[in-house]
Structure 1
Amino acid sequence: MREEKFHTIIGHVKSVNGSRLSIKLSDDFKSSMPIINGLVYRVGQIGSFVRIPLGYAHLYGIVTQAGADAIPEKLTMTNTSLENMHQSSRWITVVLVGERVRSKFERGVIQYPTPDDEVHLVTIDDLKIIYSEINKDSSLTIGQISASESLPAHIDLNRFLSRHAAIVGSTGSGKSNTVSVILEAIASNQRYKSSRILLIDPHGEYNETLKNYSKVFKINADTEKSEAELQIPFWALPFNELFSIFPGTLKENALDAIRSEIQERKIASSKSLTKKPKEHSINADSPIPFSINDLWHELDDFEKQVFNKVEVSKGNWELQLVERLEDGDATKLIPSRHHPPAPGGGNPNLNKGAMGILTFLNGMRNRITDDRYKFLFDPGEYLPNLKGKSEKDLNMLLSDWLNHDKQLTILDLSGIPSEIMSSISGTIIKIIYDSLFWGQELNVGGRKQPILIALEEAHSYLKAGEDSISSRTVQTIAKEGRKYGVGLLLITQRPSELDETVLSQLGTLIALRMTNAKDRGHVGSVMPDDLNDLVSLLPSLRTGEGLIMGEAVKIPSRVKFDKIAYAPKSSDPLVSERWILEKPDSKEYEELILRWRNRKFN
């Protein structure tokens, strides 16, 4: 014991404020880089650990401050001269994070040190005790501990999934690699043969990286790469989200009328479903097929109707519908032709019941026929006929997404127009969450087969203060998802733009290099365990290195993540490859303009 004290004691506790300790480094301990058993240690390094023996127990803390800033405030007030501080730079602030009794380490502490208790270095032997204490059944190896790269870094899958997590870091910090390493660690583990991971990827950067473990759904899928076409049937969207896709706005009376019409259509088409829902439970938000082409055609026809005012008996007049000039085609969205109303109030007269929505209907038609929205309004076998009956129902879509032979589903949203990204991504999350919520007692529900939903570029559709379907749904999952087996993983380079309510619900935080001061401040405000001072470390982290804090690790750790076999690639065109080719024929601009005007890609 004497030999250990001689080698490892570095100072004494001087102040205890909850879990925060102020420690005065010993004047007898001259070297800041002692050599113990052939290994060099750095005393007082931010993020390093210290050990405080208390009888049979040993408390462990992490250094968050060093130098004059670590001096207790009362001590600085009573000593105005730094020369009276006995080498004022030899102070450190430590936050207690766990304790070891004999060889068992536990997170949190049940006892606290007192002033003048000894403080020791944490050696490689101490670290081995801490990091070897893992549950092999639920542990994932994702890298190495930076302080000693011979020690593997683990996270606990149960806590990582059920308590939610975030991976944050600037561009180029290794964020995509970290995501890939963690998801691959889950998907490649033979124990988890029924694992379910859904990755929503706005840029398609993980298609190659995780190709051995995933099924990719994307617009204009490449079947040679075993990709599947991304189809999201419009009728699965809530009413407000569906109509927010169309340009223009509708007055409240028109919205109410259309909402009622859709409800009636969904009630009618529900009668042809294999399993029929109760009629009183159906509303305009219910995920039941209906024909939007037929809805548009009838609304357009109604708005253009004209009537003749006819005297049926002396002094009695009534309006009679004037026959159309030409019937339209709902399937092809060709409108019917009607007689124009006569000027001056003569016959034929305008339909007084019309809602004045022809301009909106024109925009609606253009959106439905736009090739960019084909995944939504022409979703293959999920497209209902004019009577509202579709070949495939929503159960088949969920089975395609969540019950294939791979562990990971990637929804590549790179082909979705940016103006509806928030609405579509939010709808996808809501479809998944609502289905698992209502099916929680079934074998495919979240309780019996949990799911991890990973949201790449979360800041692009989960903005703070925004009342969107994606924000509302993710907030619900953050607050309640753990009860229903739905875990959340947010991935972002701009945490300052994320909703703070959601961030505060995350149990695990993985912070990589971050240079933006605003983002660092936001991350510091949600760091657990009084460790917000560690945010000063973030700008100096190496690429592929990060701080892991929270529920999924025994102790806050600085980790060097493994390298993924297939590095994530940007989907942007490579300028150096394209600019060496010959310029194209100018005649192609004619075809370009035609496609633009037709809103078709071919």
Structure 2
Amino acid sequence: MGCDNQTFIGKIKNVSGNKISVRLDERVKSMMPIIDGIVYRVGQIGSFIKIPLGYTHVFAIITQIGADAIPESLRLNHEQIEKEMDYGTRWLSAVLIGERVGTKFERGVLQIPSSDDDVHLVTKEDLSMIYGSEDGSKSITIGHISNSESLPAYVDIDKLVSRHCAVLGATGSGKSNAVSVILKEIALGDFKSARILLIDPHGEYNNIFKGYSKVFRVNAKEVGEEELNIPYWALPFNELMKIFPGELNDKKEDYFRQEILKRKISAAKYLEHIPREETITSDSPIPFSINQLWFDLDDFEKQTHEKSRQPESKMTLIKKGNAENLVSNEYPPASSGSGSPFINFQAQGIQGFLDGMRNRLVDQRYSFLFNPGEWTPEASLEGKIKKDLDKLIEGWIGHDKPITILDLSGIPSEMMMSIAGTLIKIVYDCLFWGQNLQVGGRQQPLLFVLEEAHNYLKSGENSVASRTVQAIAKEGRKYGVGLLLATQRASELDETVLSQCGTVVALRMTNNGDKSKVAGAIQQDLDNMISLLPSLRTGEAIISGEAVKIPCRIKFDKIPDAPKSSDPKVSVEWKKEKPSNEGYSKVISLWRSGRLSDNEKETNKEE
């Protein structure tokens, strides 16, 4: 590891804080010297140089080359500027990043070099010392260093999970492959109690982790998949109301809130552990029958009275309805004049909203929410359920597989944000309240992986998804909850969340807005490396942050079963024979019945 004339390239001419300017020595004739049979390239942005200081070697990352790297002090010296500009291609700027004491590399610099200190190339042996894993038990290998295929790229699993991570890259840059490599290395590593919860909006990962994952999907059809049930009663009040079409003013919304609260208080007596009444709110995850709620409110709106403004004079039913099947009670219609029957003067004027609410409740696309299997409250018993929330969460993260995939591809796009946020909130709240138990996050940490995170973490939106992920980003590490965000649109991510990601994996991207977001998330002195992003190869990334010793350019391994785009293959489909036009009649039938296929189970049939 000693330094000799073969590796010498120049001298430091300026030191400003942790930045240095280096002028290459005139004796360096080749920018691609051969040392011990290995070809090295001098002056590559993102590569290393070293400065020997006695028993210590200080390392720096090159951030600039050429005339722009000339120190500002020389630029202001008009007598010398022309001479230096002629020599401008022989200048380097670099940022001090770490030092070697003995055989150990440490990030951070204790000794600052001085002007005229020698600068040397970094050899393969140096790189092995810099990038080598000190403790293989807490590291995973995700690829190799770009400029040396023999050097594996390691990341620290402790820092990657607890300090959060963002994987950012344009479409086709290898983002999904990068996420798959990281998760696969964790799943196949010596981590017997690993818990990874992957929120997958497009169902891209279902086939990748077979054998060590459990897939939950709406309308599960594949072997090994389980039905994804999300009880509506576990949603916060505001998120539940957003699912129904129509708007409510504050007074009407409060009316709904109070009605739901009354039913949750009443249904709480069926729980195994009954909470104190004063602790129950409309946001509490307590089962109640939404069919019965609709039926009761609808009945109240439609009641007619024999005498004006006398509630006790309610007219007799013409036809009895049914709460379970969402069939309204029928009363004699109110008179159009001033005579009997009279409308219910206490009605809240919410009939339009209730009609839209009923349409959602019978829509088959929402059956995973309003008919969630054994978590569906019984209307006749005021909300009693067969299974409680603990069994739902146990099914998601309490099984013996390291990875859980929640496939949201069958969920209507207009409610993706609410559902994704609710899923995250349910699990996070469980780990928060169980932090002192063995199944809590502190004793069995959990990693949330949010694929296509920009879809439900829009910057500036006050959604349950944004609020919950912000809380995890700020406080999750205290409770053993980590984040891995993956997105192709970094510019659309919530800034608070991105700023909390201790590790950033930046793949190829060309959009200026996305690049500026990445520049703001990595070490400020290294923002010149962002200029490399458009020229990265597919599967190549710049990793910066706490999970790696130093920022580095790496090439991810390629897994054979990497997630493919869910888009149809136009070149293949257009070569097939045209299908029969009889299918259009079937389309209309499915459309009107709110189904995607004839195989879906029929629910909520009216009698």
* 3-state SS of 1:120 partner: strand
Deviation at 1:581, TM superposition (A): 4.5
Map residues 319-334 of structure 1 onto 2, 5 A cutoff. Answer: 320-334=313-327
Number of the residue aligned with 2:195: 196
Please point out which of 542, 545, 552 is paired with 1:547. Answer: 542
Distance 2:576 2:47 in 1: 54
Structure 1 partner of 2:34: 35
Displacement of 1:10 after TM fit?
1.0
Which residue matches 1:213? Answer: 212
| Post-superposition offset of 1:577 | 4.4
- 1:19 matched to 2:14: no
Cα shift readout 1:392-437 (whole Å, capped 9, x = no counterpart): 1110110110011210001111111111111110111111111111
Shift of 1:183: 0.2
Sequence identity percentage: 58
Among 360, 364, 368, the alignment partner of 1:367 is 360
Give the CA deviation at 1:391: 0.8
**Number of the residue aligned with 2:603:** none
Shift of residue 205, structure 1, vs aligned partner: 0.8
2-structure distance, mates of 1:48, 1:163:
26
**Partner residue of 2:276?**
278
Q: Given that residues 160 and 552 in structure 1 are in contact (C-alpha distance below 8 angstroms), is that contact kept between their aligned partners in structure 2?
A: yes
| Cα distance in 2, alignment partners of residues 158 and 48 from structure 1 | 26
- Cα deviation for residue 144 of structure 1 reads 0.8
Measured after TM superposition, the shift of residue 372 of structure 1 is: 1.0
SS at match of 2:516: helix
**8 Å contact 2:132–2:154 — kept in the other structure?**
no
Q: Deviations over 1:298-322 (max 9, x none)?
A: 00000011112279xxxxx885111
> Residue 347 of structure 2 is aligned with which of 328, 337, 354?
354
Q: Equivalent of 2:371, from 366, 375, 378?
A: 378
Aligned twin of 2:500: 505
The one-letter amino acid of 1:361's match is: L
What SS does structure 2 have at the residue aligned with 1:6?
coil
Q: How many Å apart are 1:233 and its aligned residue?
A: 0.7
Deviates more, 1:149-158 or 1:79-88: 79-88
TM-score normalised by L of structure 2: 0.95
2:488 maps to which of 455, 476, 493: 493
> CA separation in 1, counterparts of 2:36 and 2:266?
80
Q: Which amino acid aligns with 1:271?
A: K
**How much has 1:133 moved relative to structure 2?**
4.1
Q: Which amino acid aligns with 1:233?
A: P
- Tell me the residue number matched to 1:426: 421
After superposition, the C-alpha distances for 1:80-106 in whole angstroms (9 at most, x for unaligned) are: 765321601211111111111010111
2:289 corresponding residue in structure 1: 291
Q: For 2:4, what is the secondary structure of its paired residue?
A: helix
- Secondary structure of the corresponding residue to residue 271 of structure 1: helix
Q: Are 2:517 and 1:522 aligned?
A: yes
**Aligned pairs (5 A) from 1:4-403:** 4-79=3-78, 82-85=81-84, 87-189=87-189, 191-224=190-223, 226-309=224-307, 320-386=313-379, 387-403=382-398
**1:363 partner SS:** helix
Give the C-alpha shift of residue 377 in structure 1.
Answer: 0.7
Q: Which moved more, 1:10-19 or 1:433-442?
A: 10-19
Structure 1 distance, partners of 2:254, 2:279, is: 18
What does residue 602 of structure 2 align with? none
Question: Per-residue CA shift, 1:580-601, capped at 9, x if unaligned?
Answer: 5444443433332232222233
Q: CA deviation at 1:380?
A: 0.8
CA RMSD of aligned residues (A): 1.7
- Unpaired stretches in structure 1, ≥5 consecutive residues: 312-316
Aligned residues of 1:141 and 1:153 also touching (Cα < 8 A)? yes
* 1:293-348 C-alpha deviation (Å, 9 max, x unpaired): 0000000000011112279xxxxx88511112111111111111111111222111
On the 8 A contact 2:142/2:155 being kept in 1, the answer is yes
Q: Contact 1:512/1:545 (CA < 8 Å) preserved in 2? A: yes
Given residue 338 of structure 1, which amino acid in structure 2 is its aligned partner? Y
The Cα of 1:261 is off from its aligned counterpart by: 1.2
TM-score, reference length from structure 1: 0.96
Indicate the residue corresponding to 2:601 in structure 1. Answer: none
Q: Decide which moves more: 39-48 or 126-135.
A: 126-135
- Correspondent of 1:459 among 454, 463, 470: 454
SS of aligned partner of 1:428: helix
Moved more, 214-223 or 362-371: 214-223
**Structure-2 separation of matches of 1:80 and 1:293:** 86
| Bigger Cα displacement from structure 2, 547-556 vs 339-348 | 339-348
Q: Distance in 2 between matches of 1:501 and 1:346?
A: 62
C-alpha displacement of 1:132: 2.2
Deviations 1:503-526 (A, max 9, x none): 111110111111222211221121
- Return the alpha-carbon distance in structure 2 between the equivalents of residues 456 and 310 of structure 1: 58
**What is the distance in 2 between the residues matched to 1:202 and 1:553?**
29
* 8 Å contact kept, 1:184–1:213: no
Contact in 2 for aligned 1:10/1:120 (Cα 8 Å): yes
Aligned length: 594
Closer/same/farther in 2, CA of residues 494 and 80 from structure 1, 3 Å limit: farther
Q: Which of 588, 592, 595 lines up with 2:590 in the alignment?
A: 595
User: Which position in structure 1 is the counterpart of 2:431?
Assistant: 436
Letter in 1 for 2:102: R
Aligned with 2:554: secondary structure? strand
Asked if the contact 1:310/1:319 (under 8 Å) is kept, the reply is no
Are the structure 2 counterparts of residues 318 and 591 from structure 1 closer, same or farther at C-alpha, using a change threshold of 3 Å? closer
| CA drift at 1:208 | 1.1
Residue 569 of structure 1: aligned partner: 564
Shift in CA distance, 60/248, structure 1 to aligned 2, threshold 3 Å? same
